[in-house]
Amino acid sequence: MENLVVYYSRSRNTETVAQEISKAVNGDTKKIELIKDGSFAGAAFKALLGLKGKIKSIDFNVKDYDNIFIGSPVWAGKSSTPINTFLSDIDLTGKNVFVFITQADSKTPYPVYESIAERVGSKGGKVIDSFFIQTDMKNPLTSTQAAKPISDWIDKNRAYLQ
Ligand SMILES: Cc1cc2nc3c(=O)[nH]c(=O)nc-3n(C[C@H](O)[C@H](O)[C@H](O)COP(=O)(O)O)c2cc1C
């Protein structure tokens, strides 16, 4: 099985999670990047409206993979604008998709899972499972903090990943 871990991260928390997942599944890691980062308020406002951010061109093809891990921070209670763009542009026909999310709030971000799952489904993909980790806006998430919950999550889904 070929595994791809694709994510957006503004302050590296989601990136840390992506790197740990990638290690656990021996996957390729690809970062979605905005052409221009913009302000915190602007990012939150655009996300609240469900807008898409202008992203740099993508140098990979999801067709080369069986399992796609898609990661986003929560912005204003929604998915981040670069991930909105990715989900709108991509063809996920026949792909198993795993969603991972980081946010500062402690409650599970079900509405964000659901909105991502709906878009994955409309692009032909199937969401197998989701993962969430709470972060602290003042202290970056460390790989030590992330490692155990991620390895538990991956172990739970091992049957899909071999
Ligand atoms: C523009 C913006 C909006 C945010 N909105 C929320 C929010 O609505 N709820 C929440 O729990 N965290 C919110 N956060 C915190 C991030 O979700 C959290 O810090 C996340 O781990 C950041 O991931 P990153 O470091 O990969 O960018 C927001 C952060 C930013 C930058």
Q: 31 in ligand 1 pocket by Cβ < 6 Å?
A: no
* Angle, in degrees to the nearest 10, between helices 143-156 and 13-25: 50
Nearest to 78 by CA among 55, 105, 52, 111: 111
- Ligand 1 center–CA 66 separation, angstroms: 29
Mean pLDDT of 151-160: 96
CA of 131 to the centre of ligand 1 (A): 16
Nearest residue to 33 (alpha-carbon basis) of 102, 99, 91, 80: 80
Q: Does pLDDT of 146 surpass 80?
A: yes
What is the percent of the chain where pLDDT is above 90?
A: 98
Structure confidence at residue 154 as a pLDDT band (50, 70, 90): very high
Tell me the domains of the chain and their CATH numbers: 3-161 (3.40.50.360)
User: Distance between CA atoms of 137 and 11, rounded to whole angstroms?
Assistant: 9
Residue 162 pLDDT: 77
Q: Does the Cβ of 34 fall within 6 Å of ligand 1?
A: no
In this predicted model, what pLDDT tens digit does every residue of 88-117 receive, in sequence order? 999 999 999 999 999 999 999 999 999 999
pLDDT tens per residue, range 41-85: 999 999 999 999 999 999 999 999 999 999 999 999 999 999 999
Average pLDDT, stretch 127-133?
98
Instruction: Give residue 37's pLDDT.
Output: 93
